[in-house]
């Protein structure tokens, strides 16, 4: 089988070489010659697979995206051509959930509140929403969960009302982009909804940019900034041509990188590999642990330079531990500086440095209560026999 894969798929060469004749391509640079011979096309969200592309790939039998979202795949065109397709749903769910929790702890430190005193509203309980739910449960944080489509399919799930979820202290968006049906999500948070929110609330969008009306948000911020909620954006409307004038009004801003952990991207490769093996009726030989590099242990000691114990709060120790793995303020600061003089939103995503997920680290910490909380969040404890 002749396989073309995006060169931004980690470990793709190691995974796919045993399945056929492989060749990497850079998004936006698919050659006519390569497409003409291609039988399996493995992409990320930067490559649109539609009727126009399919006409140039007459031998194509299999298409997969190593990403959770698949808006860039024209399923009607792919299915009409009798081509098998696959999307790596949930591959970066853990990474996005960690990003959201990191942003919450950062805002708690900045605004001086205790996270356990807040109610978090999760809008959308798919892969990412459920991953966030699990992390919040580990912290014993009260949640309001909104997902009517899931409630219609799952009798065990009861969805809160929309009014209930937008009354939460912190609202985190995790829905797909839909424009039709009973529950369209495009501009779910429009001017009318934004007007119902208060300055005491926090709104975070790390799903799809079009779920939050960016122009309505900008107008609201310009008119009554002091009455608007604290807002953080990782996803934007019209990416990569985003509304840059919004940036100064945001508590944090990043370039759609919430899911860009090494594990999240590599897990996408792994999931595509396993599905392609099933398609070819071949037993999978590789697994993710074969390729992921080791991560150095992290020490969080509540001591100062004179080895005197410091009375840090439980929340502070957990927050510092999370920051030792991922400091969202670094991404926010870089994004603001870069976007002040550039329109290349896509370049930030392409050059994003390696970020590891919390379970990659073994952490050494003296505070037993905080250590157990971190263990529940997925951190591995040094010298832990369990």
Positions marked active-site: 208, 239, 256
Nearest to 233 by CA among 273, 189, 199: 189
What is the C-alpha to C-alpha distance for residues 174 and 124, in angstroms, rounded to an integer? 5
Nearest to 129 by CA among 110, 114, 148, 155: 148
């Amino acid at each position: 089988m002749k396989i073309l894969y995006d060169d931004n798929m980690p470990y793709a060469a190691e995974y796919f070489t045993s399945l056929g004749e492989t060749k990497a391509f850079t998004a936006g640079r698919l050659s006519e010659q390569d497409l003409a011979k291609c039988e399996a096309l493995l992409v990320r969200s930067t490559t649109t697979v539609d009727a126009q592309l399919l006409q140039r790939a007459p031998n194509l039998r299999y298409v997969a995206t190593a990403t959770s979202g698949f808006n860039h795949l024209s399923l009607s065109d792919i299915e009409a051509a009798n081509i098998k397709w696959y999307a790596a749903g949930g591959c970066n769910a853990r990474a996005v959930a960690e990003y959201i929790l990191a942003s919450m702890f950062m805002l708690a430190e900045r605004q001086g509140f205790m996270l356990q005193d807040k109610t978090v509203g999760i809008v959308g309980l798919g892969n990412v929403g459920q991953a966030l739910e699990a992390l919040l449960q580990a912290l014993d944080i009260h949640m309001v969960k909104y997902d009517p489509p899931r409630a219609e399919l799952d009798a065990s799930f009861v969805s809160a009302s929309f009014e209930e979820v937008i009354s939460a202290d912190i609202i985190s968006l995790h829905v797909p982009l839909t424009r039709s049906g009973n529950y369209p999500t495009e501009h779910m948070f429009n001017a009318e909804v934004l007007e119902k929110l208060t300055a005491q609330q926090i709104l975070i969008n790390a799903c799809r940019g079009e779920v939050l009306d960016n122009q309505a948000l900008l107008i609201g911020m310009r008119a009554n900034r002091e009455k608007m909620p604290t807002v953080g954006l990782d996803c934007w409307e019209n990416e990569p041509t985003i509304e840059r004038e919004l940036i100064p009004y945001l508590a944090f801003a990043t370039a759609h990188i919430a899911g860009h952990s090494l594990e999240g991207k590599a897990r996408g490769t792994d999931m595509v590999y396993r599905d392609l093996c099933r398609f070819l009726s071949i037993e999978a030989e590789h697994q993710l642990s074969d390729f992921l590099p080791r991560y150095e242990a992290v020490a969080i000691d509540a001591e100062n330079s004179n080895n005197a114990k410091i009375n840090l709060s439980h929340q502070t120790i957990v927050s510092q531990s999370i920051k030792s793995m991922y400091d969202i303020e670094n991404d926010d600061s870089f994004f603001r500086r870069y976007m002040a003089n550039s329109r290349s939103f896509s370049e930030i995503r392409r050059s994003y440095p390696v970020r590891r997920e919390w379970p990659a680290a073994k952490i050494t910490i003296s505070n037993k209560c905080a250590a157990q909380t971190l263990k529940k969040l997925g951190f591995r404890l040094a010298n832990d026999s369990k």
